[in-house]
């Protein structure tokens, strides 16, 4: 099967730069997949799992904290706010972040930014999901 160049960038680093057969991304309206030879596209990405690798078989996973993707001339570039490969995720830290976010949401205090706490919880659960390969 044909391959394309695949790169995931954050403001801090290049998370991955390789060639792949397939990538599945978390679009704002749901997951979508891209193969080599895809028409040029730019799309906003939400918080979710980004999978990449072979079309059939085991793929690598990234916990993606939103961003944008561009596919042009058989090269995909993902520009992400945050991105962590499954093997990089500190599960204990993610569990602690989940606990803190849940605690803030339960407290119902006036000074709690509920939207921010919900996003923190969503990201913590995502990181745990990716790390545990669910």
- pLDDT at position 111, please? 77
Low-confidence ranges of the chain (pLDDT < 50): none
The whole-model pTM stands at 0.88
The reported pLDDT for the residue numbered 78 is: 98
Other C-beta atoms within 10 Å of 34: how many?
Answer: 20
């Amino acid at each position: 099967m044909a391959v394309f160049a695949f790169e995931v960038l954050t403001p801090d680093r290049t998370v991955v730069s390789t060639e792949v057969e397939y990538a599945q991304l978390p679009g704002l309206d749901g997951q979508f997949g891209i193969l080599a030879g895809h028409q040029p596209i730019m799309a906003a990405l939400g918080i979710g799992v980004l999978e990449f690798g072979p079309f059939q078989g085991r793929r690598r996973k990234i916990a993606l904290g939103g961003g944008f993707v561009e596919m042009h001339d058989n090269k995909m570039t993902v520009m992400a706010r945050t991105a962590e490969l499954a093997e990089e995720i500190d599960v204990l830290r993610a569990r602690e972040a989940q606990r803190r976010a849940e605690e803030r949401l339960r407290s119902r205090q006036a000074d709690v930014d509920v939207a921010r706490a919900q996003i923190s919880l969503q990201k913590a659960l995502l990181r745990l999901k990716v790390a545990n390969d669910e």
